[in-house]
Amino acid sequence: MSNLQTVILSLSVAYAVIGALLLVVLVYARLHWSLKAVAVVVTSTFYVVSFTEMRGLLGWASSDRMPSAFKLLQARIVEPHSLEGDPGSIYLWVEALDEDNRPSGIPRAFRVPYDDRLADKTHAAQNEIAAGHPQGGRAADFGGGDGSLIDMVREYVTPKTILETSGGDSSTGEFNAPPAGAQGAVFTPVPPPRMPPKDEQ
């Protein structure tokens, strides 16, 4: 069991205990039924919100949508492994760029489904970075993120042996067709930052 699975299992047990304690309190407390219902709804909402927000705090690569424009800092390609049922992933460490091509200074790790063409383009971008040529990209070339709470739960109740190995998102265990942008330009040289216009005197 991976560290992420252990964390999710621990949180699930902790939330179940809290829910059970809340149930005991509400059964024996002399409160109006509407107040009890509000307590249940608020607690349930807290479970979902805290779980989804905790994923970002743990430092795991996000499967959410990447920044609209970004600079590629580094990448790691994990090829599919049919024996282990791993569909493969491509991990990208990126830094958001503003409209003037200035970096935000806050790097973030993202995970996208493995695709042969995208892997080739990522490897080529790594070589360009090593040669001193910064590379960037756009979120539009990668599609939206697919890592929802339901998808995360589905991964842990679906045996990995039945996962697709010809491409997919390792965070969900579901097959995802490569984004349309993966067929075209995914990484391109990062243009220099646009300087603000000088004051005319």
Q: How far apart are CA 25 and CA 35, in angstroms?
A: 12
- Span 90-145, pLDDT tens digits: 999 999 998 888 888 889 899 989 989 999 999 999 999 999 999 999 888 876 54
Side-chain-side CA neighbours of residue 163 (13 Å):
28
The dihedrals phi and psi of 95, each to the nearest 5 degrees, come to -130, 125
Structure tokens at 35: 């107040």
Percent of the chain topping pLDDT 70:
70
Residues contacting residue 55 through CB under 8 Å, at least 6 positions apart: 62, 147, 152
Residues forming beta bridges with residue 97, ordered by sequence position? 103
Q: How far apart are CA 194 and CA 9, in angstroms?
A: 48
Give ∠ CA 3-5-8 in degrees, rounded to 5: 110
Most confident range, picked from 8-12, 47-51, 131-135, 192-196 = 131-135
| pTM (whole model) above 0.85 | no
Q: Are 187 and 107 in contact (CB under 8 A)?
A: no
